[in-house]
Amino acid sequence: MKKLNIVLFGPPGAGKGTQSTFLIEHYGLVHLSTGDLLRAEIKEETELGLQAKELMDVGQLVPDAVVIGMIRNKIEANLDAKGFIFDGFPRTKAQAEALDAMLNEKLEPIVAMLALEVPEEELVKRLLGRGATSGRADDQDEAVIRNRIREYESKTAPLKDYYGAQGKYKAVEGVGTIAEITARLVKAIG
């Protein structure tokens, strides 16, 4: 059966993690979030986690080689999955090229890059709101949140053109109820 490999894309706070929960259930996919994988390393106080924490706490991207290595391990451990949802990865052109190479070698290509679109002020509101309870260091300070959004705009948003050139980029309105947005994503997957 054909695998369903999807990139769920969007700025910090767009709802990638929230929507992944519903999509993995709906389609029976494996969820791969580099942010979640990095936070697990931090929790275990690994060398990788300690190095990543310094960058994450100020809202900067961690090096490409680190996240590419983590994704490679997870793909190799789940080769029989029905498909993957990539959440928060790829975030740079180098990551997107590495992902394409890995999928070409072992699995099947990305079918769609679904980009959740949410205005900046709504993103800041959501993340400050979560910061009150999440314990995520990068949600506590508005300046760090805005820095994450600047990193997204300069390094990550250009990937819309990368996937657009492959005919895979689909913009999805990311404001509304969680269920409304899930329905839009399912429709976009087709």
Residue 175, SS3 per DSSP: coil
Report the amino acid identity of residue 89: F
Site membership for ligand AP5, residue 40 (CB under 6 A): no
Sheet holding 112-117, edge to edge: 30-33, 84-87, 6-9, 112-117, 169-173
Which stretch in 76-84, 101-109, 124-132, 164-172 sits in contact with ligand AP5 by CB under 6 A? Answer: 124-132
Question: In residues, how long is the chain?
Answer: 190
User: Which residues pair with residue 9 across a beta bridge?
Assistant: 115
* Catalytic residue list contains 91: yes
Give kind and range of the element (H or E) at residue 116: strand 112-117
Q: Which of 82, 130, 155, 160 is catalytic?
A: 130
Nearer to ligand AP5, 1 or 85 (CB): 85
Sign of CA dihedral 121, 126, 131, 132: positive
Whether a cis peptide bond, with omega within 30° of 0, leads into 90 is: yes
Which stretch in 24-32, 75-83, 165-173, 176-184 sits in contact with ligand AP5 by CB under 6 A? Answer: 176-184
d(C-alpha 52, C-alpha 42), whole Å: 8
Nearer to ligand AP5, 1 or 132 (CB): 132
User: Which residues pair with residue 113 across a beta bridge?
Assistant: 7, 169
Q: Which of 91, 126, 170, 184 is catalytic?
A: 91
In the complex, least distance from residue 190 CB atom to Mg ion, rounded to whole angstroms = 24
Per-residue contact string for residues 64-103; x = within reach of ligand AP5 by CB under 6 A:
---x--------------------xx-x---x--------
* Catalytic residue list contains 16: yes
Site membership for ligand AP5, residue 6 (CB under 6 A): no
d(C-alpha 100, C-alpha 90), whole Å: 10
d(C-alpha 20, C-alpha 179), whole Å: 12
Residue 169, SS3 per DSSP: strand
Site membership for ligand AP5, residue 131 (CB under 6 A): no
Q: What residues numbered 10-29 form the site for Mg ion, per CB under 5 A? A: 16-17
The catalytic site residues sit at: 16, 91, 130, 136, 148
Residues near ligand AP5 (CB under 6 A): 10, 12-18, 34-35, 38, 55-56, 59-62, 67, 88-89, 91, 95, 126-127, 129-130, 138, 148, 176, 178, 181
